Structure 1
Amino acid sequence: MPRALFSIALALATLLLAGCAPREGFGIVEGTSPEQAPEPWRVSEATLFIAETGPEQDGAEFLIPDLHATRSTIRLEAVSRRSIAATLACEGPFRIQTADGTARRFSQGRSVDLTLPNRGQGAASFVWQPDSATCRLSWGDDHTVTLRPESEAAPWLAELSLDASLACRTRSTEGLDPLQRMFLDEGPMLQTCPVTPGPVEVLSDPLEALNARIEALTGRRVSRDQLTAGDPDMPLDFSNAPRLELIQLSYLHIRSDFVGYLTARMLAHHAIRGTQVRILATSLLMLEEDRIFYDSLAARYPNIQIQYYQWDYPGIGRPDDVVNQLHRVQHTRAFLALSRDPGRSRYIFGGRNLHDGFFFSEPFDLQDWPFLHTYDEGAFQDLGFYSVYEDVELGLSDDRAVRNIAAHHLALWNRDFETHRAGPLQTGTTDRLSGMRHYLSLPWADGRDQIRWFADAIDAASEEVLIVTPYLNPPPEIQAALVRAQARGVTVRMVVRLESTDPAGFVITALNRRYAAHYAGLFEIEEYFPRPRMMHTKLMVIDRRLAVATSTNLDHRAFWHDTENGLIFLDTPQVGMLLDLVEDYRQTSRRLTADEPLHPLSEVLFNWAWLRSVF
């Protein structure tokens, strides 16, 4: 489909799917407290990408995600424009399904010849079970990849995944103040035990944020002039690079642009040295040229694994599910690098996605690099759009704090692919009354508990609730908590963005402007629009003591549908650092008034209950 028609198709799909609008609560289970789940308890999936030229490393290995898995389905997918003849053999029995749908079972020690269709024409897959043991795929001129279970090939990674605490219990909350009790919340939403955050860098400057990533993977920063020159082949010095066990990237959106290529070069350096690299992104937002770029990277280095997240809940079979498959996305953020060397682990978290629009004010001309994509600054409401965002991230370097957070990202990666639930859940205990926690929201698995948490946190406020958000369509429970706070004398202040140039931005802008028109007379609402950039930051600070830096927008979609995560701080220096950032925003913001004009479509779209529920 030509990209210029994407927004039209999106609008038509929205109208057609309205007749299949999901019933309230569809796909959502009741929230329950985390508990130890039986094992094995899940099914897993992974994709091994294959290139005609083979992997660029000797003894290439691909880890089978076997942790707690009754079975694992491994897709064998060619990135080439021609089909590939291959042979698969396993030490134990296995089942295979070829691209034409033929399924066969093979006994111990058998091998099977199969053809992997050219790119875009399907894939073969095989079902691995614990007794399948080690497998081997071979093709072409002695190209091979050994497929080994993760529990055997990377025991250190398996240990971290299996033994880390995904939830936390407090020994007592007696005598605590409301914000302390909120910080030590034990609801169904997954939250790590509190830790001391250690050194935290506020990365509001986009080039500093990009440089923090470069330093995390190379051990050195580069000059701002080098970055702004936009040369994808710029020199990178790996002489001080850390030894990394794991690199895990989690974003809504990644692209094959300047930032994407720099990142790929750094990932390749570590992958060829044996580091396990994992990339989690949203399937729906990936252009074909982006997929080709990242799939080819994974084919060159099979220890780079990619999950293109797409909601798929087998067995429901109702039209409702079509909406969720098109709408629910992977919205967590993480740039995670784990090292066994003290002080070399890094975690970068915030609202940014991994593409040039979050780091540079104009797109680079990348025509001399045909494997990259030059995004069109003038593109309107399609997946090839180039918008410039202003955002903030936090950079953590404390070993314990980073590994504490890694548990949640590993759990999301190792989720059950049939239900999208994470677990089994190890539960820790704590006596700490302050520090930092990481949360992971899976709304269909925890009963949308993030809504309850935000509402309870607002209810705990005694002086001020400060919210920074680019989206203004809060769930009713959170809106009610804000109104209650204002009624009891708490200052409710919002720093917002009203205009949106995101895909489907006409809906977002209409809902934002409706909220502003209705509530600017009740709350203190300020519009921050640092043109040509769009504010994309998501923060909440309560009573200048509790701060939440989050991927979660203040809208129904974030709380009802998408994977989300965040960092919660109580009585730490980071709260003041985030408040200083917001004060910088406010220096150039516009205070909205009670007579703020409505968007022409505001009431129509808001009163369309289903549409409001998915935005």
Structure 2
Amino acid sequence: MGSTKVRRPVVGVLIVLLPLLLQIGCAPPAGYGLRDGGVPSTKGANWRSSEATLFLGADGPAQADAVFVIPDLDAHRSRIRIEAVPRTAITAELRCEGRVRVRQAGTPYQPLAPGETHRLTLPPRGHGAATLDWRQGTGACRVDWGDGHSVALRPESTQPRLAAWSQGAVACRVDPDLRLDPLQKVFLDEGAMLQTCPVDPGPVRLLADPLDAFNARIEALTGSKVPRDVLTSGNADLPLDFSNAPRLDLIQISYLHIRADYVGYLTARMLAHHALRGTQVRILVTGVLMLEEDRIFYDSLAARYPNIQIQYYKWRDAGIGGPGDLINQVHRVQHTRAFLALSQEPGRSRYIFGGRNLHDGFFFSTPFDLEDWPFLHTYDEGSFQDIGFYSVYEDLEVELRSDAAVRNVAAHHLGLWNRDVGTQSVGPLRTGVSDRVRGMRHYLSLPWADGRDQVRWFVDAIDAAGEEVLIVTPYLNPPPAIQEALVRARARGVPVRMIARIESTDPAGFIITALNRRYAAQNAGRFEIEEYFPKPR
């Protein structure tokens, strides 16, 4: 029987099924783990609705030919919020090629004829926005304001190279004639989650050291690393060498939360460099965890470079029917952690994923003194631990460098970005076909859209285990179905081992710690539970 043991620091373990994919935008060539054939869609044309936010600043865009991309792929309509970043009103003029509807904050929609100019008054920050109800047939639009400031709004479908990245397979159909053992059947599962086909991931680098992980991001965007002593200096204006920077079509970063701190500022400087060169930049982050100073910082960045778009993820329910729905608004967040850079240049695309979010506590052991940058977040040691807390985490990330692997896994993240606003579902489910039984896969779960299929997948994987079940997690509170599968595994003689950080340092740590302790006590005689103690940096 298992026992509860306390050991000295254990190196973090991450068991990952990596994504393996097909060539984006064209028939998959040999060697991608796919058979010959197209990637048919399971949904019809224009099946979704989308939304985006165009931020306007008093200083206008940095580019004379600034372009904001309307997310119209597979969309029958797109609501574009036009929002002022400063705390003063902005007067602007809007016109579109085709028919469109527009409304000011708090007023009904008004129809505009093709080419008609409409005067907008955007209220000060925090007091509402104008909304453009764009439809297929509206075409391109333009917004003018201030001292000659202007931005063109163009549908993504008219940007061939950008649109092509979104045309990869996000699901995989497996040859039914393959002879598979139980674990292979789970590995090649065709459930409701998004899953790529098995592929060789190419060169893989494990990023356990936090400075190596941050430098991997710097190298992906600049082509050069920053010396460790310079990186740890806390100088937010440290020199960045872009002389070997790649030409990137798209940068997409996705995290639970992002801060306007030292890491955030250096990242923003790199994003600005590429945005100025025309790269499309997308930031997906959980809205409820963003402080106002964070939002001002990133909204201002997007206003300066309209080809930087931000999605503040928020769970949307049909309505608030009880206390549980109120909690869902806070806890149903997006947990994808990904740093994606796509380039046409061979060997320059990167995908970094794992446990880290994008703020200082995931990369540095102590907060920096950022008083010289008053627009950045200051972590006050010893102060009340709100969502702007500073806590040091030990995590592991994985970097993929293979062009094929990176481009194909990109289909999942682009699919998530282009999800339907109302249902949170991703599609159309362009499907690849595979006869491979080895390799690595990438899974993406949208539990509110796929019926919590991830739970079913874990249950199947545990039920198929024949030698050992190893779980590394900061949270010991599995769903009942997974707990029952773990009990079944132990009953048939399969050891179940867990490595967990029992004592949580999160703001809600008192709840997490209580749940972890209770679970460890209840299962002390059933599973082997090792408590992980972070090693001081």
Q: TM-score normalized by structure 1?
A: 0.79
Find the aligned partners of 1:309 and 1:57 in 2 and give their Cα distance: 27
Report the 3-state secondary structure (helix = DSSP H, G, I; strand = E; otherwise coil) of the residue aligned with 1:473. coil
Which of 136, 153, 156 is 1:150 aligned to? 156
The Cα of 1:488 is off from its aligned counterpart by 1.2
Quote the residue 1:508 is aligned against: 512
Matched length: 497
Quote the residue 1:284 is aligned against: 288
Quote the residue 2:383 is aligned against: 379
Report the 3-state secondary structure (helix = DSSP H, G, I; strand = E; otherwise coil) of the residue aligned with 1:264. helix
AA matched with 2:228: R
Quote the residue 2:24 is aligned against: none
The Cα of 1:217 is off from its aligned counterpart by 0.3
Alpha-carbon RMSD:
1.3
Find the aligned partners of 2:177 and 2:533 in 1 and give their Cα distance: 42
AA matched with 1:318: G
Which of 444, 456, 468 is 1:452 aligned to? 456
Report the 3-state secondary structure (helix = DSSP H, G, I; strand = E; otherwise coil) of the residue aligned with 2:440. strand
Quote the residue 1:85 is aligned against: 91
Report the 3-state secondary structure (helix = DSSP H, G, I; strand = E; otherwise coil) of the residue aligned with 1:510. helix
Quote the residue 1:423 is aligned against: 427
The Cα of 1:173 is off from its aligned counterpart by 5.2
- 1:367 maps to 2:364: no
Which of 64, 69, 82 is 1:76 aligned to? 82
Report the 3-state secondary structure (helix = DSSP H, G, I; strand = E; otherwise coil) of the residue aligned with 2:273. helix
How far does the alpha carbon of each residue in 1:191-247 deviate from its partner, in whole angstroms, 9 at most, with x for none? 011110111100000000000000000001111101110110000000000010100
Find the aligned partners of 2:375 and 2:108 in 1 and give their Cα distance: 34
The Cα of 1:504 is off from its aligned counterpart by 1.8
Structure having the higher helix fraction is 1
Which of 294, 313, 321 is 1:318 aligned to? 321
Which of 145, 149, 159 is 2:164 aligned to? 159
Report if the CA contact (8 A) 1:377-1:387 is conserved: no
Quote the residue 1:60 is aligned against: 66
Superposition map of 1:287-306 within 5 A: 287-306=291-310
The Cα of 1:489 is off from its aligned counterpart by 1.3
Quote the residue 1:45 is aligned against: 51
Superposition map of 1:334-413 within 5 A: 334-413=338-417
How far does the alpha carbon of each residue in 1:24-48 deviate from its partner, in whole angstroms, 9 at most, with x for none? xxxxxxxxxx960111111100000
Quote the residue 2:107 is aligned against: 101
The Cα of 1:483 is off from its aligned counterpart by 1.0
Find the aligned partners of 1:494 and 1:270 in 2 and give their Cα distance: 42
Report the 3-state secondary structure (helix = DSSP H, G, I; strand = E; otherwise coil) of the residue aligned with 1:73. strand
The Cα of 1:460 is off from its aligned counterpart by 1.2
Find the aligned partners of 1:137 and 1:245 in 2 and give their Cα distance: 24
Quote the residue 1:583 is aligned against: none
Report the 3-state secondary structure (helix = DSSP H, G, I; strand = E; otherwise coil) of the residue aligned with 1:435. coil
- 1:527 maps to 2:531: yes
Quote the residue 2:482 is aligned against: 478
AA matched with 2:237: D
- 1:488 maps to 2:502: no
Report the 3-state secondary structure (helix = DSSP H, G, I; strand = E; otherwise coil) of the residue aligned with 1:213. helix
Superposition map of 1:119-134 within 5 A: 119-134=125-140
How far does the alpha carbon of each residue in 1:137-164 deviate from its partner, in whole angstroms, 9 at most, with x for none? 0001110000000010x21221231x31
The Cα of 1:531 is off from its aligned counterpart by 5.1
Quote the residue 2:21 is aligned against: none
The Cα of 1:316 is off from its aligned counterpart by 4.1
AA matched with 2:389: F
Report if the CA contact (8 A) 1:378-1:386 is conserved: no
Find the aligned partners of 2:332 and 2:441 in 1 and give their Cα distance: 25
Range with greater deviation from structure 2 (316-325 or 222-231): 316-325
Report if the CA contact (8 A) 1:206-1:360 is conserved: yes
How far does the alpha carbon of each residue in 1:447-494 deviate from its partner, in whole angstroms, 9 at most, with x for none? 100001011111111111111100000011111111111111111111
Report if the CA contact (8 A) 1:388-1:532 is conserved: no
Quote the residue 2:313 is aligned against: 309
Report if the CA contact (8 A) 2:78-2:133 is conserved: yes
AA matched with 1:400: A
AA matched with 1:274: G
Report if the CA contact (8 A) 1:218-1:242 is conserved: yes
Q: TM-score normalized by structure 2?
A: 0.91
Query: Can you give the 5+ residue segments of structure 1 that lack an aligned partner in the other structure?
Result: 1-33, 534-615
Quote the residue 2:202 is aligned against: 198
- 1:266 maps to 2:257: no
Quote the residue 1:275 is aligned against: 279
Report if the CA contact (8 A) 1:362-1:377 is conserved: no
The Cα of 1:333 is off from its aligned counterpart by 1.0
AA matched with 2:163: A
Find the aligned partners of 1:375 and 1:405 in 2 and give their Cα distance: 35
Find the aligned partners of 2:443 and 2:55 in 1 and give their Cα distance: 32
AA matched with 1:148: R
Superposition map of 1:16-35 within 5 A: none
AA matched with 2:165: L
Find the aligned partners of 1:108 and 1:35 in 2 and give their Cα distance: 33
Range with greater deviation from structure 2 (221-230 or 319-328): 319-328
Report if the CA contact (8 A) 2:178-2:435 is conserved: no
Deviating beyond 6 angstroms after TM superposition, the runs of 4 or more aligned structure 1 residues are none
Identity among equivalent positions (%) equals: 70
Quote the residue 1:232 is aligned against: 236
Report the 3-state secondary structure (helix = DSSP H, G, I; strand = E; otherwise coil) of the residue aligned with 2:451. coil
Report the 3-state secondary structure (helix = DSSP H, G, I; strand = E; otherwise coil) of the residue aligned with 1:202. strand
The Cα of 1:532 is off from its aligned counterpart by 5.2
How far does the alpha carbon of each residue in 1:80-104 deviate from its partner, in whole angstroms, 9 at most, with x for none? 1211110001011111110132421
Find the aligned partners of 2:396 and 2:505 in 1 and give their Cα distance: 19
AA matched with 2:505: T
